[in-house]
Chains A and B, each alone.
Chain A
Amino acid sequence: MAATLPPPRLLPNGDSAVTVEFSRTIDDAANERVLALDKTLLATPIEGISETIPTYRSLLVHYDPGKIGFDALCEKLLPIAGRPLPPSTKARRWRIPVAYGGEHGIDLEDVAKALNTTPDDIVARHAGGDYRVAMIGFTPGWSYLSGLDKSLHMSRRQNPRLLTPAGTISIGGIQAGIQCLAAPSGWHLLGRTPVRTYQLHRNPTFLTEPGDRVTFFAIDHKTFEEQDRAAEAGEIIAERVDA
């Protein structure tokens, strides 16, 4: 292994943030470097950095220009970002129940038709996947997953929906997602989970972290209703299976 990795691009976001970009495309290796840099900056903070936001292929670093200037910050970030990856630590793993199809997954049949197969087959391929939380963004708890089966890759909808339900499990392009709050979406809706990846007065407020592993399993709609009530009352519902 090389002593250092190729340097990232440092892209200014105005006067108070810089994007440390490792790749222009979705790439698990780049995402690992993003998460490694994020971890390093959390463990050994650079004076002036106020917040870091990991995304698929870059780390957005917010800083206070009253404490550190752009050039000085970039000089400090570059060598850290070029370090070889530390040995990977064991990821947390979640099993997430999903009520597929019907009112909870209104695009399941259309997706099956578009891919010349049956809804059951789509469910099997989606639930059979081993996913990784690449980033969380857009709205609270919205977890973007890498690892979608290649046979399920398909373009997003031509017309995004203005509102899709809380808990929506969907696919878009080469990505899969767990959506927490009701929100606009152009992805294909396969089902819903009772699991809240974000719930204000629960400990923890946010369930998923970038780097976590996720698998799905099917539940019937009656179980969904029961678990949805329990989740509303503060239960986590998702099973943690790494321990």
Chain B
Amino acid sequence: MSRLIVASIGPASSVQDGGRYGAQRYGLTVSGAMDRLALAAANTLVGNEPLAAAVEIGPFGATFTAKDGAVRLAIAGAPRNADVAGRPVAMETSVTLKDGETLTLGFARGGAFTYLAIEGAIKGELVFGSLAVNARAGLGSPYPRPLQAGDELTVDAASGAPELRIEMPKPVSGPIRVVLGPQDDEFDDANKALFLDSEWKISATSDRMGYRLEGPAIKHLHGHNIVSDGTVNGSIQVPGNGAPIALMMDRGTSGGYPKIATVITADIGRLAQTSAGTAFRFKAVPMAEAQEEARKFQQLIRTLPDRLRSSDTVELNIEALSDANVAGYAVSAMDAGTWQVTAEP
């Protein structure tokens, strides 16, 4: 066994996996990676199951040091500068830290979440089938809270496997796709159009529970109280002030505001990686299209191993690099603190 020491890390960084399903009926939310595809890409690079537990790193920098042996890692997700002992490490590649070496990750350049997967995955005690941290409920393993400097992860010694890169499909661009409902009938046509036709920005006071949207105020037909009912990842609820909130992985399992629309599964990670202040739009798609996209998304995750390449064949992807630089050091969607949903249950 080796150890991976968290030498430094910013807020909003925690161990996450595919999430904790099966106990939402008791009010236990799902948690799990904000960008499932990036988690899967990082895990695939080091030979793990796609949704195995990895470190979800928030927008700030972080450093990790190998102890008691070598550790093989991979990074994917929000682009950032990365190096090991001065040697640059590209996003979407694996790298092996020798005993005592440190991986240094800079701030996210656009987006928020980068995933650090470790060969053999993070070990811990499963709670309802998951290691994902849910800080509010005191769940998650090996630490039931966000990671802090000084934390240690017990990991497998590096296998010595050759380093790999993964050739991901060109990122989807364009509007964030939604299916209208379940309570779109709580809004008149003008307000539904206002939601779909306006530019939105993600507020800096957003976190793993929800992304607050800045734009025009959306008005309700019959007031903002409905009888509390269930929520899903990507539910877009409209509270009394008319500023929609997209519910993310640490959402409450039920809520009492009308939900105008729901982000499609394939686009939740894209929304999660949209930087605060960046303008974007929503687009309503028919159910059949949303489900087809969901199936394609599942298929993409299943077939990620087919996209692995030897890292000897790395060619600089100039387009991706320039895209990343255009984004610049955008303010991230993550606030250093945590905001509370002030709504009553």
The chain A residues found within 8 Å of chain B, CB to CB, are 11-17, 19, 21, 24-26, 50-58, 60, 62, 65-66, 69-70, 135-142, 144, 156-157, 160, 162-163, 172, 177, 179-181, 183-187, 198, 200, 205-206, 210
A53 touches B344 (CB 8 A): no
B230 touches A60 (CB 8 A): yes
Encode contact with A along B8-24: 1 for CB under 8 Å, 0 otherwise: 00000000000001111
Distance of A53 Cα from B343 Cα, bound (Å): 20
B253 touches A16 (CB 8 A): no
B21 surroundings in chain A (CB, below 8 A): 50-51, 62
Shortest Cβ distance from residue B232 to the other chain A in the assembled complex, whole angstroms:
5
B341 surroundings in chain A (CB, below 8 A): 184
Shortest Cβ distance from residue A59 to the other chain B in the assembled complex, whole angstroms:
8
Shortest Cβ distance from residue B30 to the other chain A in the assembled complex, whole angstroms:
9
Shortest Cβ distance from residue B234 to the other chain A in the assembled complex, whole angstroms:
6
Encode contact with A along B164-207: 1 for CB under 8 Å, 0 otherwise: 00000000000000111111000000000000000000000000
Chain A residue nearest to B25 in the complex (CB)? A53
Chain B residue nearest to A62 in the complex (CB)? B232
Distance of A207 Cα from B294 Cα, bound (Å): 35
Distance of A172 Cα from B225 Cα, bound (Å): 13
**27 pairs, A vs B, C-beta closer than 8 Å:** A11-B181, A13-B262, A15-B293, A17-B262, A24-B227, A51-B21, A54-B25, A56-B228, A57-B229, A58-B229, A58-B230, A135-B228, A138-B252, A139-B136, A139-B252, A140-B23, A141-B27, A142-B27, A142-B345, A160-B344, A163-B340, A172-B344, A185-B345, A186-B343, A187-B345, A200-B139, A206-B26
A206 surroundings in chain B (CB, below 8 A): 23, 26
Q: Tell me, yes or no, whether B291 is within 8 Å of chain A by CB.
A: yes
Residue from B27, B226, B229, B255 whose CB has the most chain A CB atoms within 10 Å = B27
Residue from A15, A156, A177, A198 whose CB has the most chain B CB atoms within 10 Å = A15
Residue from B181, B252, B288, B345 whose CB has the most chain A CB atoms within 10 Å = B345
The chain B residues found within 8 Å of chain A, CB to CB, are 21-28, 127, 136-139, 178-183, 226-232, 234-235, 252-255, 259, 262-265, 287-288, 290-291, 293-295, 298, 340-345
B344 touches A185 (CB 8 A): yes
A56 touches B227 (CB 8 A): yes
Q: Known: A16-B232, A60-B229. Is A140-B137 also a contact (CB below 8 A)?
A: yes
Contact partner of A15 among B26, B230, B254, B294, CB < 8 A?
B294
A136 surroundings in chain B (CB, below 8 A): 25-27
Distance of A13 Cα from B234 Cα, bound (Å): 9
Q: Known: A12-B179, A144-B228, A177-B345. Is A65-B25 also a contact (CB below 8 A)?
A: no
B287 touches A15 (CB 8 A): yes
A53 touches B298 (CB 8 A): no
Contact partner of A137 among B228, B287, B340, CB < 8 A?
B228
Distance of A139 Cα from B293 Cα, bound (Å): 31
B291 surroundings in chain A (CB, below 8 A): 15, 65, 69-70
B287 touches A55 (CB 8 A): no
A172 surroundings in chain B (CB, below 8 A): 344-345
Distance of A138 Cα from B237 Cα, bound (Å): 14
Chain B residue nearest to A141 in the complex (CB)? B27
A62 surroundings in chain B (CB, below 8 A): 21, 24, 232
A140 surroundings in chain B (CB, below 8 A): 23, 26-28, 137
Distance of A167 Cα from B232 Cα, bound (Å): 26
